[in-house]
Amino acid sequence: MEFQKPIVIAFLLLTQVIRVFADCSCEDEEIHGNKSETLKYKLIALASILIAGGIGVSLPFAGKILPALRQEKDGFFFVKSFAAGVMLATGFIHILPDAFESLTSPCLKEQVWGDFPFTGFVAMVATIVTLMFESWSAACQPKNQTEDKHIYHLSIDVLELGIVAHSIIIGLSLGASKSPETIKPLIVALSFHQFFEGLGLGGCIFQAKIKSLAIISMGAFFTLTTPGGIVIGILMSNSYKENSTNSLIVEGVLNAASAGMLIYMALVNLISPDFNNPRMQNKKMLLLGSNVFLLLGAGLMSLLAKWA
């Protein structure tokens, strides 16, 4: 919970930075359909993403309703593996190409962005910084805390930080879009992604067994981030220029950084603890099933990325 205020402050500052420095240097997005139709699809996307995220982050706690999602059941490992696959595909196949497209766009006046592979560099740096931050934070925890407890709490904070970073960009881009044809394919893809990303986060929170108030706060914060970004994007839609130099740089850098963080968290915080769990190591069918669900999650998210 220590990171909640800094995240909110960064969120608000980011929206102001993009708004202030959005100076159009290329043609704006081609408009198809009137404003009321575009607004209708934005509101549909907002509601769909809000519901999907809320259900996803809440499901791991519905043990009495869905026993398969309880920690002691094999199904819990399957759904977390599937969610990890979704997050990996989001980083590798969706966010990284988006960042590359932004930073190599002909709309950028600075040619240096296209001359050096900044996308991979920023993603690599974000991965290393996340690792260093997590390690130093764990080392600075009070020694009277149990190791499992503070590691789980820290993993959740870092996981939510990475999720929020790219959720902001997703929401802003969708909310500022002026074309229904751009928004329509995103509704299903982003709802699917938000559901399983919430499932992964909710699973980590469930394992940490933290206080009820913290659970509600973290779940609500995750659920509202992307819809909040959409609302701000709608309010900024008249002044926000997605092809401006500064907007492309901000979006490209944040997307690349988010990709690095998501890949790190999916591999280190979601997959590694479960796949190295003695229970999974001793049950070959559980290990095989988790591998299958990991590939299935990555494959389905990759397929959806074709239309998103």
3-state secondary structure the chain: CCCHHHHHHHHHHHHHHHHHHCCCCCCCCCCCCCHHHHHHHHHHHHHHHHHHHHHHHHHHHCCCCCHHHCCCCHHHHHHHHHHHHHHHHHHHHHHHHHHHHHHCCCCCCCCHHHHCCHHHHHHHHHHHHHHHHHHHHHHCCCCCCCHHHHHHHHHHHHHHHHHHHHHHHHHHHHHHCCCHHHHHHHHHHHHHHHHHHHHHHHHHHHHHCCCHHHHHHHHHHHHHHHHHHHHHHHHHCCCCCCCCHHHHHHHHHHHHHHHHHHHHHHHHHHHHHHHCCHHHHHCHHHHHHHHHHHHHHHHHHHHHHCCC
- When mean pLDDT is compared across 80-89, 108-117, 125-134, the lowest value belongs to 108-117
- Tokens standing for residue 95: 């966010």
- When mean pLDDT is compared across 114-128, 137-151, 158-172, 190-204, the lowest value belongs to 137-151
Q: Residue 151 has what pLDDT?
A: 57
When pLDDT is cut at 50, 70 and 90, the band that residue 5 belongs to is: very low
Sign of CA dihedral 239, 243, 248, 251: positive
Q: Residue 16 has what pLDDT?
A: 45
Asked if 153 contacts 242 with a C-beta cutoff of 8 angstroms, the reply is no
When pLDDT is cut at 50, 70 and 90, the band that residue 9 belongs to is: very low
In this predicted structure, the answer to whether residue 94 has a pLDDT above a threshold of 60 is yes
In this predicted structure, the answer to whether residue 29 has a pLDDT above a threshold of 70 is no
Round to whole Å and give the CA distance between 156 and 60: 14
Round to whole Å and give the CA distance between 204 and 64: 18
Round to whole Å and give the CA distance between 257 and 91: 10
Q: pTM value? A: 0.75
In this predicted structure, the answer to whether residue 10 has a pLDDT above a threshold of 50 is yes
In this predicted structure, the answer to whether residue 101 has a pLDDT above a threshold of 60 is yes
Could you tell me the residue ranges of all domains in the chain?
Answer: 33-58+79-305
What mean pLDDT comes out for the span 223-227? 89
What mean pLDDT comes out for the span 62-91? 72
When pLDDT is cut at 50, 70 and 90, the band that residue 288 belongs to is: very high
Mean pLDDT of the chain: 76
In this predicted structure, the answer to whether residue 291 has a pLDDT above a threshold of 90 is yes
In this predicted structure, the answer to whether residue 122 has a pLDDT above a threshold of 60 is yes
Q: Residue 2 has what pLDDT?
A: 46
Round to whole Å and give the CA distance between 111 and 245: 11
- Tokens standing for residue 39: 């607004």
As a whole-number percent, the residues of the chain with pLDDT over 70 amount to 73
Q: Given the structure tokens 């074309």, which residue do they identify? A: 179
